[in-house]
Amino acid sequence: MFSTSGSYSVVARSMLNGALLALRELAEAECGVALEPIVVNPSGDLARYRTLSLELLGDGIRHVVGCYTSSSRKEVIPCFEKFDSLLWYPSHYEGFESSDNVIYTGAAPNQHVLPLVDYLASRVGRRAFCVGSNYIWAWENNRIFREALAVRGGTVVAERYLPVGETEFDQVIGAIIDQRPDFVFNNLIGTSAYAFFRAFRTACRARGIDQVTDIPVASCTLSEPELAEIGPDAIDGHLTSSVYFSSLDSPANAAFIEAYARAFPNGPISSADAEASYIAVKLLAAALEQAGTEDSRAVRAAVANQRLAAPQGEVRIDPQTYHAWLTPRIARSARNGQFEVLLEARSPVGPDPYLVQSSPRFAVAMRGPALKVVRS
C-alpha cells in the first residue's frame, strides 16, 4: 500500500519497487512460501489509506507492507488492530510508538536524528533553523532534535511548518537568510522539500552566499530519487542521516543495486525506504515460512530475532519493540546524484523508539540568552 501518486510519490514508487524486487527474488529462489502481491495506491489521501486498509483486511489479507508518512500509519493502525493483522511499516519515523500490530523495518529516532545532532553540533555549528511539513513527523522529529541540540549547548533560532505539498518558500527563506543559522534542519517531505532545496540555493546564490558551506541543509529524509527530483542546480552538498545509501560499498549492496536497476530501468532509483521495503518483504517471507501459517500472532512471534543479510548490512528484529537493528550513517549529496558516506556506525544499533536509553529524564527547555538587550 504505497501512494504511487501524490506529493511524495517518488519515494513511494521506490518503496513499491523495493517490495516487488524482494517478491521477485523470493519467487525465483522458490522459498517455502508463495506470496501474491496486491498493490493499492491511496494517492497520499489519509481517508483512502483507511478505506483501502479496511477493504484489504476485510478480504482476508493479514499482512500489508506499506505507508510512508506517519500520519498515514497512525490512520490505519486501528484497522490492523481491529482485524489483528500486521502492518509492515518500511520507513524511518519519529518513534514513540510500538503497536503490537506493526513491524517497523525503518529507522527509529535514535538511529537517524540523534546521530545527526551529534554530527551537526560537533562539526557544523549549534544554531539551527528548522523547517518541516505540518504534520506529526516534523513536529516530533523537530522536538527530539531541539531537545538533543539543547543538551549539546545548541539552540533552534526558529521553527517553520508548511502544509504538505506547499511549494512557496520566499518568506521562510527570507527568515533563514536574516537569521543566518549555522545550518537548516529540514523535515519537509516530497515536492515541498524539492522546491525548498531549489529555491534556497537560488536565493543564497542571488545574495552571494555559498549555501553548501555557509548554511548547509541537513535532513533525515532526503534520498537518492529525491536528489534527481531536486535537479542539477541544487543537488549537491546536502547532509542526510540514514541507515542506507545506494553508494554503500559492499557485495550485498552491489547485488541489490544491480538487481533493482535491472528490474526497474525507468526508476525511480533505489532509496533507504526502498531498501526498508525490500527488508520488510524478506522478513515477512522468512517469518511466514517459520510460522507455517499466516496468523499474525504466530508470524509476529516468528519474526522476532530474524536476521537478514540486507544491502545495508545485517538487520534483525528486536523482540521487545518489533523495530529493527540498523546501521546509522551520515552522508553528503554529490553532483552525481549519489551520497558520499562521511560517517557510519561500526555495527548495527538497537532500536530505541521511546528514547529510553538516549534522552534525559526531564524534558529539556531551550535556554534563552542570559542577557537580553532590548532597544526601546
Q: For binding to other proteins (CB under 8 A), which residues are involved?
A: 77, 81, 96-100, 320-321, 353-357, 359-363
Is 343 within 8 Å of 119 (Cβ atoms)?
yes
Q: How far is the CB of 245 from other proteins (least distance, A)?
A: 30
Output 262 or 361, the one with its CB closest to other proteins: 361
* Phi, psi at 220, each rounded to 5°: -110, 5
Q: How far is the CB of 176 from other proteins (least distance, A)?
A: 29
Q: How far is the CB of 344 from other proteins (least distance, A)?
A: 27
Let me know if 334 is exposed, middle or buried by CB neighbors in 10 A (0-12, 13-18, 19+): middle
Give 203's contacts (C-beta < 8 A, 6+ positions apart).
170, 173, 174, 177
Q: How far is the CB of 353 from other proteins (least distance, A)?
A: 8
* Phi, psi at 11, each rounded to 5°: -65, -45
Cell numbers representing residue 344 in the block: 557510519
Output 96 or 161, the one with its CB closest to other proteins: 96
Q: How far is the CB of 59 from other proteins (least distance, A)?
A: 25
Cell numbers representing residue 366 in the block: 531551550
Output 305 or 320, the one with its CB closest to other proteins: 320
Output 5 or 99, the one with its CB closest to other proteins: 99
Cell numbers representing residue 25 in the block: 527474488
Output 100 or 233, the one with its CB closest to other proteins: 100
Output 171 or 320, the one with its CB closest to other proteins: 320
Per the DSSP assignment, residues forming a β-bridge with 133 are: 162
Can you tell me the distance from the alpha carbon of 40 to that of 301, in angstroms, rounded to the nearest whole number?
Answer: 27
Output 363 or 374, the one with its CB closest to other proteins: 363
Output 268 or 353, the one with its CB closest to other proteins: 353
Q: Please, what is the Cα angle at 167 between 335 and 133, to 5 degrees?
A: 90
DSSP 111: G
Can you tell me the distance from the alpha carbon of 162 to that of 168, in angstroms, rounded to the nearest whole number?
Answer: 9
Q: Pick the closest to residue 257 from 2, 13, 17 (CA basis).
A: 17
Collapsed DSSP state (helix, strand, coil) of residue 48: helix
Q: How far is the CB of 327 from other proteins (least distance, A)?
A: 22
Q: Pick the closest to residue 321 from 169, 124, 103 (CA basis).
A: 103
Is 187 within 8 Å of 129 (Cβ atoms)?
no
Q: How far is the CB of 362 from other proteins (least distance, A)?
A: 4
Q: How far is the CB of 156 from other proteins (least distance, A)?
A: 18
